[in-house]
Amino acid sequence: MTETRMDGKVIMNEDRQNRIASWEAVQQGFRGTGYIADRAIATTVYLAWHLGKPILVEGPAGVGKTELAKTAAAFLDLPLIRLQCYEGLDEAKALYEWKYGKQLLYTQLLKDKLDEIVSRDNGFAAAIDKLHRYDDIFFSRHFLEPRPLLKALEHPGGAVLLVDEIDKADEEFEAFLLEILSEYQVSIPEIGTVSAASRPFVFLTSNNTRELSEALKRRCLHLFIPFPDAALERRIVRSRVPDLPEKLEKQLVSFIQEIRGLDLKKAPSISETIDWARVVVLLHAERLTTEVVRDTLHVFLKYQDDVHTVEERMPQLAPLLLRNDAG
Amino acid sequence: MPRCSCATTRADPMDRVLEDFVTALRLAGVRISVAETLDACAAATLVGYGNRLLLKDSLGAALAKSGREKALFSDTFDRFFTEFSCNATVPGQEDDPSRDAPLPEDPLSRMLLQRDQAALAAALQEASRQAGIRSIRLPTQRSLYTVRILNALGIEGLDGAIRTLSGAGSGVSLAQADTLQAARQELTESVRRYVEQQLDLYGQGLVNQYLEDALRKTRLSHLEQRHFEKMGEMIRRLVKRLNDIHSRRRKAARRGHLDFKRTLRHNVPYGGFLFDPKWKQRKLNRPDVLVICDISRSMMRLVRFFLLFLYGLNEEILRIRTFVFCSNLVEVSDVFDRYPVEEAVDRLQQGADLPIVMGLTDYSRSLKDFRQQYLDAVTRRTTVLFLGDGRNNNADPDARILREVYQRCRRLVWLNPEPRSFWGTGDSEMKRFLPYCHTARECNTLDHLERVIGALLARTRH
């Protein structure tokens, strides 16, 4: 590494440290990128960065868990490397894989060379002996395909690593993550231990479809993002859909808040609120009438049963719309 | 590194406070490791103790790692970091003659007469540490700790001062003695309140522990409604443990030996180079469980907890079909597919949307129903769990039908909530069912449930 690059890196790091100097700074910065973070979120991000700990983010679907990692990447000006978890995810998909095809191709191409090496010696044992001196070539960096985890470790200058929906992965995968999360290094049998060039900032998200292991939780700071209260949700909608008239925004948010109280299969999340707000803007609706709501129910309700439930409740919910309309 | 700061500044009084807080959290039921405590120290050092809410968020991120723990944390935090209020300083009137009188030598009396709240609070903190308040666990220890703290505060000196003052006989010193006497009463009261608070913090865990131990051995049929939630929580913990143990074993069974045939076939395109080895995979043996429950009133509680337990297990380690009967028999597997376990069990209890007749228990009719409609479901891989007290209201139970089930299945396990000595007494037909069971056990406490299901998993999974 050259002298100048070193300097550049140091300056960038300092800039980053300044940017994340306090939790208020984090909150401010996140607002700049359009993410409204409450105190708990900002504090946890601030702590995690300074303590060098991963953050485990839990909460219902669509409250902005993944978005948080994206925002942090944008805010810190770091590349975002994302690993989507699913059942059966293994090291080959998450960490690294050998490029079998390339290895094969090279052995074919180099066949003559190999012949040459081998044939010069007579005697089988001597040939094998000779080959042994070359065999590491095929298990070197050139034939290694880095997957997200390795990429995040090796990225010069650090990166934001997002391990999305960790609860979908198997329990062994969780165990496998432990080394990376606490030591920021991995062992590749053929090559050795790879340590992080610069410590990645790790976010893990979970929808709580199963309990994560104690060992994993112990290594992380824990952040729970619940559904936001009305005031916070309005701020979020305002920041994401600025075209929405204020009166509509108030109606819309209070309606969604009310609906969350109903017995639904899937309560609408912030992402659904935002979708709905966008749709309402596209429809050029002046205010939220019962008809408009009926027509757009499917935007924020994802099950037919839920749509029915809400339609049945419309007589009770309608006064709410009117009240906010008048206010 | 910030992590080490805690270890090196061990003497920092705030760290000691944090240690006490962690103890309180642990007793409240939050699991906290040493590493997490160090994280909390580092976090507290980073954000400082100035902003209460900020401190709460920071410690919460480092210490509480689930929704349940977050709630416990929040509660404990609020109770732990309450300002200690000591009203022991009696508000004296402005024209109180004792105000200008010379103060007695005794430090506690001085504090009280000078109405020095801050010093008093600090003295109390120190005294309670000397008294070892952290070890308080039982309500019966309240007075012991109150006395210890008062002694550590120097109550004897105060008493001495009062005696001297009242003995002096002058008007001023008598007034002073009266003030002190009132203050002493207030002080004792505040210390008692403080000890009460601390007992709340530190004692809860032990009470919980006793309760849990007792609940594990309580007959489910006698369980009180108010303990249902606690029971549900204990079941969830047991289930999680079983899931952990058995899912790991499932994965271990996957690793096999080199499958040479498949490897050769698979590597033909590579010109015979064995690049991509294939491994033999053992087929997973997921036990097929068929549950038949008597849901007459006497059985409902046991059935409820049994099903909560069984359906909590991973689908991957257990495949379940459930039938319930009273006067007739119906399958309810789809209720469990459609709703979360707890809700499904509630629905069963209310009998919502089910074509079941809740009259007298009729084993004969129910077994016939089963034979007629579902006997095909029983294969030699099926384990049949039969939950019932075997009491058939003096009618013939047609136990022979059970024999057909017995012959077809891998194992038939009968779980009876009554103790063995009651089997066959009165209208119990247990003795007539017994020949057709591989095992029959008494099952009516959480301990029994755990043993039965543990055995089921261990036996069928190899």
Please report which confidence band the pLDDT of residue A274 belongs to, taking 50, 70 and 90 as the band edges. Answer: very high
What burial class does residue A158 get, using C-beta atoms within 10 Å of its C-beta: 0-12 exposed, 13-18 middle, 19+ buried?
Answer: buried
Determine the Cα–Cα distance for residues A37 and A164; give it in Å rounded to an integer: 19
Q: Does A224 touch chain B (CB under 8 A)?
A: yes
Look up residue B240 and give its two tokens.
């999680």
Residue written as token pair 């925004």: A249
3-state secondary structure of B290: strand
Q: Does B273 touch chain A (CB under 8 A)?
A: yes
DSSP H or E segment with residue B411: strand B411-416
User: Alpha carbon of B146 to those of A17, B142, B184, B249: distances in Å?
Assistant: 50, 6, 13, 53
- A100 and B275 within 8 Å at the Cβ level: the answer is yes
Give residue-wise pLDDT tens across range B225-259. Answer: 777 777 777 887 778 777 777 766 555 555 567 77
A246: closest CA of chain B, how far (Å):
31
Q: Both ends of chain B: CA-CA distance in Å?
A: 48
Which residue from B minimizes the CA distance to A175? B248
Q: Both ends of chain A: CA-CA distance in Å?
A: 64
Which residue from B minimizes the CA distance to A209? B314
Give residue-wise pLDDT tens across range A199-245. Answer: 899 999 998 877 788 889 999 999 999 898 888 999 999 888 888 88
Mean pLDDT of chain A: 84
Mean pLDDT, residues A3-19 taken together: 58
Which residue from B minimizes the CA distance to A59? B67
- B67 and A58 within 8 Å at the Cβ level: the answer is yes
List the one residue out of A56, A211, A86 whose CA is nearest residue B241.
A211
Determine the Cα–Cα distance for residues B340 and A208; give it in Å rounded to an integer: 14
Show Cβ contacts of residue B232 under 8 Å, excluding neighbours closer than 6 positions.
B308, B342
Give residue-wise pLDDT tens across range A20-34. Answer: 888 899 999 999 888
Establish whether this prediction's ipTM goes over 0.90: no
Show Cβ contacts of residue B133 under 8 Å, excluding neighbours closer than 6 positions.
B145, B149, B195, B198, B202
* Residue A136, pLDDT score: 72
- A40 and B57 within 8 Å at the Cβ level: the answer is yes
Indicate if the alpha-carbon torsion angle B361, B367, B369, B374 is positive or negative: positive
Q: Under a CB-based contact definition with an 8 Å cutoff, are residues B134 and B23 in contact? A: yes
How is residue B294 annotated by DSSP? E
Is B314's pLDDT higher than 60? yes
Mean pLDDT, residues B396-409 taken together: 87
User: Rounded to 10 degrees, what is the CA torsion of A124, A126, A131, A133?
Assistant: 160
Angle subtended at Cα B244 by Cα B338 and Cα A172, rounded to the nearest 5 degrees:
105
Q: Can you say how many angstroms the Cα of residue B429 is from the centroid of all Cα atoms in its chain?
A: 38
* Residue A71, pLDDT score: 93
Determine the Cα–Cα distance for residues A237 and A228; give it in Å rounded to an integer: 11
Q: Does A6 touch chain B (CB under 8 A)?
A: no
Is A5's pLDDT higher than 70? no
Contacts of A208 in chain B (CB under 8 A): 67
* Residue B115, pLDDT score: 75
Give residue-wise pLDDT tens across range B350-382. Answer: 776 778 888 888 888 999 999 998 888 888 888
Determine the Cα–Cα distance for residues B107 and B126; give it in Å rounded to an integer: 14
Of A50, A55, A222, the CB nearest to B64: A222
Provide the whole-model pTM.
0.67
Angle subtended at Cα B382 by Cα B378 and Cα B383, rounded to the nearest 5 degrees:
120
CB atoms within 10 A of CB A205: 24
Look up residue B318 and give its two tokens.
């257990």
